[in-house]
Structure 1
Amino acid sequence: GLPRVVSFCLFLHSSSAQIRYSIPEELTRGAFVGNIAKDLGTDVAKLAAANLQVLSDSDSQYFSVNVNTGVIMVSERIDREQLCGQNPRCFLHLKLAIENPVEFYRIEVEILDINDNPPEFPSDEVSLRIYELASLGARFPIQPAQDPDVGTNTLQTYHLSANDNFNLNVKARTDGGKFPELVLERALDRELRAFHHLVLTAEDGGSPPKSSKIRITIQVLDANDNHPVFDRPSYGARLVENSPLGTLVVKLNATDVDEGPNGDIRYSLSSHNSAALCQIFAIDEQTGEIRVQGNLDYEEATVYEIEVEAKDMGSPTMEEHCSVVVEITDVNDNAPEVILTSFSSSLSEDAPPGTVVAVIHVRDRDSGEQGKVQCHVSPDLPFQLRKDYEHQYSLLTSTRLDREHIAYYNVTFHVEASDGGSPALRNRTLVHIFIVDQNDNAPRVHFPRVGEDSATQFRISPSTVPPALITKVVAIDADSGRNAWLSYHLVEATDPGLFSVALRSGEIRIARVLQETDASAHELLVVVRDAGEPPLSTAITLVVLVEEKGPEA
């Protein structure tokens, strides 16, 4: 369907306005988003005459704006899951400006989720080994399905195929995750039935719903008949962000009434935990102590829920699970960030002063005075910063460039934040700008030296046998790449068929046997040409004298 305007907010203060639209993801290119002229109550002709411009921003690639009509359209595929993950709301922003008077418009487009992803299990099948004396009510976690959609379109429920021994329990976590568990409701008997085959279906809440299945094979074994038991079903802890590595989070305690290896417990982080969480926390398998082993950042996550399992050493092993909820307390620890929202790593050497090289966005995730930033570059470079508006700068060329003088620049953006700390937090970002060559240098002949008659005259004997080498024209070009690829051409000669010039090496050779009727002196006009567009060239005239003495330069 067509996108619809969900809200319209006009703020006349500071000559700015904000419009909000909402569209579903995955619209085709050219799909209508909104009409800024209509929604602002502005005449289209007036809008076009005011030089409507799209300000460079990280989200401008997804939309195009007809500056004559004010119509905003989708210009690139929008995948909500790729943009915002599983955040409940997803927004893209577009900044527009007009002149005379200068006014800014901030377009906020909410991207609505569509049910374009089914829930998917990590694999098509899973195998469990459960011993026949497992206690009724024992739980066996199954790897959950993942659905990148959000809201009702994401994973909602699981269904277990009909069977005599197991029921399904779905464990809901505080972050909205749903984890399936098989619950043993009727005792197993390996001698009666050694294998059970079940099918677990994950289903989302879309209309129509999407689903996927995983086959579960359960092998019933004999042996160890008591699983470990934690002294509480869940644990809680609170840490400040940036806690030192090795900080103790909590010490778990589980017991097993079995003896020997069947009662020997090992602790580990459950496979339900993300790879990122396992980089932050570690558990001692012997003591059950959970400690910090990575960086805790309040701005990244305010709470962590760690799933822990305790396994005994019996055969087969038995396990129990518990949750540890870790709350993170914020401290002032954020240095300013530099984000290149638009950057060209190469720049033509004929770029005029004032050419925009990059658009830089600076931000500090702290708030208030702690989040104020300033940005500058070294005054020794041929670049300058122009502040476009709060938190955005443009990097411009300040002088003419010459690749033959300097072929590349390392530009460092120094960002300072006045955050009340002592000293203030700072950051810097280095970018490499390569100067692209223009064909502004003609080839130069190094040999023979032009202007000296003796240097451009060469003698050969009448008995010289082809293809004897007479001399070689050597030239160089200060440009690079194709602009420095040289070729040599014999464009004029007293006898065009008597001599040849190698196209790439510049070697001049006699092409045939000399005749008594041949002239005793021959002028050769050799042109050295580069491969630029347009090409530049240099010419040199050589004189070849036919004498009885052998060739000498």
Structure 2
Amino acid sequence: MKNSNRERSIPRLIAWQVFISLLFSLQQISGQLQYSISEETKKGSVVGNVAKDLGVNVKDLQLRKMQIVSQTKKQYFAVNLENGDLIISERIDRETLCGVKQICFINIEAVIENPLNFYTITIEIQDVNDNAPMFSKKHFDIGISESSVPGVHFPLGNAQDPDIGTNSIQSYTLPENEYFRLGEITTKDGIKYPEIILQKSLDREKQSFYEFILTAYDGGKPPKTGTAIIKITVQDVNDNFPAFAQDTYHIRLPENAPIGFLVIQLNATDKDDGVNGLVSYSFSHITETALELFTIDLLNGDIKIIGNLDYETTETYEITVEAKDGGGQVTHCKLSIQIIDVNDNSPEIRVTSLLASLLEDSPPGSVIAILNVRDLDSGINGDVACQISDTFEFQLIPSSSSYYKLVTAVSMDRERKSLYNVTIHCMDKGSPPLSTNKTIQLIISDVNDNAPIFEKTNYIVYIIENNHPGTSTHSVHASDLDSDENGKVTYSILNNNIEDLPVSSYISINSMTGVLYAQRSFDYEQLREFQFQVMAKDSGSPPLSSNVTVRICIIDKNDNAPKILYPSPDTEGSALFEFIPHSAEKGYLVTKVIAVDADSGHNAWLSYHLLQVPDPSLVIIGQQSGEIRIGRDLSDLEALRQKIIILVKDNGVPSLSSTVSMNLVVAENFQQVVPEIKIQPNNSESSSKMSFYLVVALVLISFFFIVTVVITIILKCKQSNTPTSFGAYNRNVYPQFTLGCPSEISDTSLPFPFSYDVCVTMDSKQNEIAYLKPVQNVPTENLIDTEDPAVNDSSSNKLKSTNIAQV
């Protein structure tokens, strides 16, 4: 038997191969593939070679990530990437997939990437005779009135066979007997209902019960059969059957109809009276699936919903309802229930290809993901439109009816945003519409596209002089928006020279932290400021860098004591006298102490004090000007000689000071001064010569003094309304100038050196006039000409009425 079946299957196989070849030729023309297979073909069977039929190289299948996408819930097919065969991966039951449809297709799609291509593959599922006919009941109970005349028809329940065509039910048979024969009724739908036809009148008194086996045959080879037992009970006269208004009821139900919803109220009428006219209702034929969804009321024929309908599971239900009266007469009607789709399925979004990270220099149009979108609903309820929510950096481009490409729309910048959560929003066109969101996370990878940036455009660093070598002075910092090695910054000083010395001998930098270190001790009086450039470079490939200028300003420290220019401290060993005439009044200017300080700012603000004076009431000194004046009126007969010590100190912390001493002689005239000078203990020959020179100098000074007074009076009369270059020197106000470096501790004090033009006169009524002239880049050591005999000659300095010194 097996061999004969195999021999009969060989022509069928050849026919199928010819049919597949024809379909392959058609797909070459139409651009689609179509195969045909029989249901219940075992798993692993080869449907066809997709790679060959599509013209794709088998070696490229894995590289191009070929995959099969099915629109059904199960993946019935798969592709072998090694040879390109399309194989069956799940059991295929045509009746489950297509029900009563005459033609059954499964549509799948082949997706190939790099480049992206889509191919539609249609597979026809051929029916095989794998289902035997089956009656809805094992027993059919029929009551026949004994008054029934020959030729009366008694309908029976039909058998069901899920197979189609010749494999479905073809005929019924009943064992031969003298009373009954088998007949068939064919409806407009082509459904055959068996019926028993009475051939001979019955006599209940002879025989009240009959039992036969009803057999249903399908058209398969070999055919399959199903049986049911027919039990016939002979009853008393009940000559009217229940009657429905129509043989078939067509009903349309929305799939969201609630539980308890009334589908239809059947009403079968029976003209008999009493028990023979009472009709009861039941399902004569119903599938197990439909039995879980529908129920019928035994007495009134109401059919209601008891389960959840789902259009995507089953589109139609065929139910046979039986109406039986009290006498056992039955009739049947058919319910054809069509389920109407409603929009109860949200779109499904599947990511078939995804790029987890993207370099920030990738060009616009780079593919991020490939999406497959489907909706199980049908018609307009299954039409889906997708878009990106709230972002302009990406675009969603449709590739086919159900595929989309997510691509970049602009250039990426990791420093602006390093992580994107792109939300894909898909909505169908149903009413109300249903939507689904899918969020795709994309990481932007860094490239070295940002140079280090310093916190400031330039740095000004203040260092107090006399610092310790190796001390950290300041730090520079540059930030790089890149990450990891691209954002790791190192620092270096660009080579240049400061006064013919490399900058590295002045300052160094920590390459990792940017901390600046002084390499030597700085002296404000030698170097006040210098500048250099620091380069910050990242560790990217290639590296990027930027420069910044660092300006070092040396802050003055009070490390220089005041230097007294007049009277010179070098003449302390010889007698230094200042002549005061008896006619001098209170406020008479005796002399002026002149001193300078190599420091600057507050450290160079000088004040003058009388450290030692025998008669404090005799003289006073101006603290800011250094002018020594008479403190009281002198009597004509008063003659005295006093030695005073003057202290000059600066305004630094701690304060530094210097002292000088001088002798004050009060006399009527110069002749009285000479004996005072002579009585000084000096027995050397140089002292005698000094006395001679002193007398000569006094005579010359007197002459020049008179000439100077006359010239001064004439000039003052002519220029009484003309101001001096900087105005008269105010003894009570410090001159105000700014430092060379912008200073955080700017005191607007007087920087040195300056040139002082000082005029000292013996006339107490004459005011001193000082002019300030800034002198640039003149070392302090060169401010005083120590070889000037006018300075070294203490006797000449003592008696000269006018002295001009450059400070």
Shorter-chain TM-score: which interval?
Answer: 0.5 to 0.7
Tell me if 1:271 matches 2:263: no
Return the offset for 1:28: 4.0
Return the offset for 1:222: 3.8
Aligned to 1:116: 130
Match of 2:233 among 202, 216, 220: 220
What does 1:419-434 correspond to in 2, within 5 Å? 419=430, 421=431, 424-426=432-434
Give the Cα–Cα distance (whole angstroms) in 2 for the partners of residues 84 and 235 of structure 1: 22
Contact 1:237 1:250 in 2 (8 A): no
The DSSP-based 3-state class of the residue aligned with 2:238 is: coil
Give the Cα–Cα distance (whole angstroms) in 2 for the partners of residues 283 and 29 of structure 1: 41
Tell me if 1:372 matches 2:390: no
Match of 1:67 among 69, 81, 99: 81
Give the Cα–Cα distance (whole angstroms) in 2 for the partners of residues 154 and 173 of structure 1: 16
Q: Which amino acid aligns with 2:272?
A: V
What does 1:295-310 correspond to in 2, within 5 Å? 307-310=320-323
Match of 2:328 among 293, 310, 318: 318
Match of 1:363 among 355, 358, 375: 375
Give the Cα–Cα distance (whole angstroms) in 1 for the partners of residues 331 and 142 of structure 2: 17
What does 1:59-98 correspond to in 2, within 5 Å? 61-98=75-112
Tell me if 1:189 matches 2:198: no
What does 1:63-462 correspond to in 2, within 5 Å? 63-121=77-135, 125-126=138-139, 128-133=141-146, 135-136=148-149, 137-173=151-187, 177-214=191-228, 216-230=229-243, 232=245, 234=247, 241=254, 249=264, 252=267, 254-258=269-273, 260-263=274-277, 265-274=278-287, 307-313=320-326, 317-323=327-333, 333-338=342-347, 361-363=373-375, 365-368=377-380, 371-374=383-386, 390-391=401-402, 416-419=427-430, 421=431, 424-426=432-434
Return the offset for 1:22: 0.8
Give the Cα–Cα distance (whole angstroms) in 2 for the partners of residues 378 and 140 of structure 1: 71
Q: Which amino acid aligns with 2:70?
A: D
Give the Cα–Cα distance (whole angstroms) in 2 for the partners of residues 122 and 218 of structure 1: 15
Q: CA RMSD in A?
A: 5.0
Counterparts in 2 of 1:243 and 1:185: CA distance versus 1, 3 Å: farther
Aligned to 2:34: 20
Q: Which amino acid aligns with 2:267?
A: L
Counterparts in 2 of 1:389 and 1:226: CA distance versus 1, 3 Å: same
Aligned to 1:407: none
Return the offset for 1:158: 1.3
Contact 2:251 2:336 in 1 (8 A): yes
Contact 1:254 1:310 in 2 (8 A): no
Q: Which amino acid aligns with 1:155?
A: I
The percentage of aligned residue pairs carrying the same residue is: 32
Contact 1:267 1:308 in 2 (8 A): no
Give the Cα–Cα distance (whole angstroms) in 1 for the partners of residues 168 and 276 of structure 2: 41
Return the offset for 1:103: 2.0
Give the Cα–Cα distance (whole angstroms) in 2 for the partners of residues 272 and 247 of structure 1: 20
Q: Which amino acid aligns with 1:323?
A: C
Give the Cα–Cα distance (whole angstroms) in 2 for the partners of residues 367 and 138 of structure 1: 49
CA offsets, 1:131-160, max 9 Å, x none? 441624554444443323222112222111
Return the offset for 1:193: 2.7
Q: TM-score, normalised by structure 1?
A: 0.55
Counterparts in 2 of 1:10 and 1:311: CA distance versus 1, 3 Å: closer
Counterparts in 2 of 1:184 and 1:372: CA distance versus 1, 3 Å: same
Give the Cα–Cα distance (whole angstroms) in 1 for the partners of residues 147 and 386 of structure 2: 65
CA offsets, 1:441-467, max 9 Å, x none? xxxxxxxxxxxxxxxxxxxxxxxxxxx
The DSSP-based 3-state class of the residue aligned with 2:200 is: coil
Structure number having the greater strand percentage: 1
Contact 1:262 1:312 in 2 (8 A): yes
Which sections of structure 1, spanning at least 5 residues, go unmatched?
Answer: 344-350, 380-384, 396-411, 431-553
Highest RCO, 1 vs 2 (Cα 8 Å, sep ≥ 6): 1
The DSSP-based 3-state class of the residue aligned with 1:152 is: helix
Return the offset for 1:203: 1.1
Counterparts in 2 of 1:77 and 1:217: CA distance versus 1, 3 Å: closer
Return the offset for 1:19: 0.2
The DSSP-based 3-state class of the residue aligned with 1:262 is: helix
Contact 1:52 1:96 in 2 (8 A): no
Counterparts in 2 of 1:415 and 1:10: CA distance versus 1, 3 Å: same
CA offsets, 1:64-108, max 9 Å, x none? 434354333334443333443343222334432334433222222
The DSSP-based 3-state class of the residue aligned with 1:254 is: coil
Give the Cα–Cα distance (whole angstroms) in 2 for the partners of residues 226 and 127 of structure 1: 19
Give the Cα–Cα distance (whole angstroms) in 2 for the partners of residues 322 and 140 of structure 1: 11
Give the Cα–Cα distance (whole angstroms) in 2 for the partners of residues 328 and 78 of structure 1: 25
Give the Cα–Cα distance (whole angstroms) in 2 for the partners of residues 243 and 352 of structure 1: 44
Give the Cα–Cα distance (whole angstroms) in 2 for the partners of residues 227 and 339 of structure 1: 57
Contact 1:224 1:262 in 2 (8 A): no
Contact 1:133 1:188 in 2 (8 A): yes
CA offsets, 1:366-403, max 9 Å, x none? 43587234489999xxxxx99886446899xxxxxxxx
Counterparts in 2 of 1:211 and 1:288: CA distance versus 1, 3 Å: closer
What does 1:541-552 correspond to in 2, within 5 Å? none
Contact 1:267 1:283 in 2 (8 A): no
Q: Which amino acid aligns with 1:266?
A: V
CA offsets, 1:31-85, max 9 Å, x none? 3322234434x36467558636114436684434343543333344433334433
Which sections of structure 2, spanning at least 5 residues, go unmatched?
Answer: 1-12, 358-367, 407-422, 439-807
Contact 1:377 1:413 in 2 (8 A): yes
The DSSP-based 3-state class of the residue aligned with 1:271 is: strand
Contact 2:279 2:325 in 1 (8 A): yes
Give the Cα–Cα distance (whole angstroms) in 2 for the partners of residues 213 and 53 of structure 1: 50
